[in-house]
Structure 1
Amino acid sequence: MNSEFTIAVHSLVFLAHLPDHMASSELIATNVSTNPARIRKIMGCLRKKGFVKTKEGVGGGYILDCNPEEVTLAQIYRTVSSKMLKPHWCTGNPEETCPISSNTQEVMDQIFHEAEIYFEKYLDQITIYAVLQKIKQCP
């Protein structure tokens, strides 16, 4: 899995913590501990799906455009990093006569696909608001 999912969740939780306030990419980046360009890229994806609104210029930035009690982590995962459990590297060689080498990748693809389904079902149970509440409970 790539870090875009975690950055997107962190950013949305941060915005949920600041209801009705604009946050610049620089402010979000400082909170997330990454660079503003990376935040702008991820927030662009979230904006296209209606999770945030943007305002350009002085005093501009990002503001939550969704109900954090209704938005699930699965929705965010599908927006920024779906199908990322499977590694990019492939094992084995389907052209080989050895059944292990020729079939392992197909079986692993199936396993990763099933894991993705279970992972998304788990993430469907957690909202942005729930993450914010858990964070607030931390010492």
Structure 2
Amino acid sequence: MNSEFVIAVHSLVLLAHRPDGMASSEEIATNVCTNPVRVRKVMSCLRKNGFVDTREGSGGGYRLSREPDNVTLADIYRALASGSLAPSWCSGDPESDCMVGSNMGNVMNAVFCGADQQLETYFESITIGRMLSSITATAKG
């Protein structure tokens, strides 16, 4: 899982929480506790995928362009992090004479693909609206 996914979810929940629905990259970065440049990179991807709109100038920033209950974590995962569970390196050598060494890469790839599919299925049940509701309930509790 990459940090862009976490930044994206946090940012979208924040935008859903804001009364005016707007926040600048600096405001989001302060809330997320990261650098505004990282936020702008993530928000650019979210904008390209139709999750946010932007407004230039004074009072500008990012605004959630979909209803929070219609944005699932699976939507965000597919846009930013799909396939990120699989490591960039796998043990073994496909050219090896050893049955284990020559096949471990393919077997591990299948394991990670299955895990990725399970994670995406789980994320389908969680929306930005539900995340905000959980935060609100926790804050009141």
- Indicate the TM-score class for this superposition, using the shorter chain for normalisation: over 0.9
Hey, what does 2:31 align to over in structure 1? 31
Identify, as 1 or 2, the structure richer in helix: 2
Contact 1:95 1:102 in 2 (8 A): yes
Question: 3-state SS of the aligned residue for 1:53?
Answer: strand
Amino acid corresponding to residue 80 of structure 2 in structure 1 = V
| TM-aligned CA deviation for residue 21 of structure 1 | 3.2
Q: What TM-score, normalized to structure 2?
A: 0.95
Consecutive unaligned residues of structure 1, counting only runs of 5 or more, are: none
Contact 1:11 1:32 in 2 (8 A): yes
Contact 1:19 1:64 in 2 (8 A): no
RMSD over aligned Cα atoms: 1.0
Amino acid corresponding to residue 132 of structure 1 in structure 2 = L
Amino acid corresponding to residue 15 of structure 2 in structure 1 = L
Q: Percent identity?
A: 57
Matching of residues 52-91 of structure 1 within 5 Å: 52-91=52-91
Amino acid corresponding to residue 7 of structure 2 in structure 1 = I
Q: What TM-score, normalized to structure 1?
A: 0.96
Hey, what does 1:138 align to over in structure 2? 138
Matching of residues 1-139 of structure 1 within 5 Å: 1-139=1-139
Aligned length: 139
Larger deviation, residues 9-18 vs 84-93: 84-93
Amino acid corresponding to residue 134 of structure 1 in structure 2 = S
**Distance verdict in 2 for CA 1:19–1:66, change over 3 Å:** farther
| TM-aligned CA deviation for residue 6 of structure 1 | 0.8
Deviations 1:6-38 (A, max 9, x none): 110000000000143320000000000000000
| TM-aligned CA deviation for residue 100 of structure 1 | 1.0
Paired with 2:132 and 2:65, the residues of 1 have a C-alpha distance of 16
Amino acid corresponding to residue 6 of structure 2 in structure 1 = T
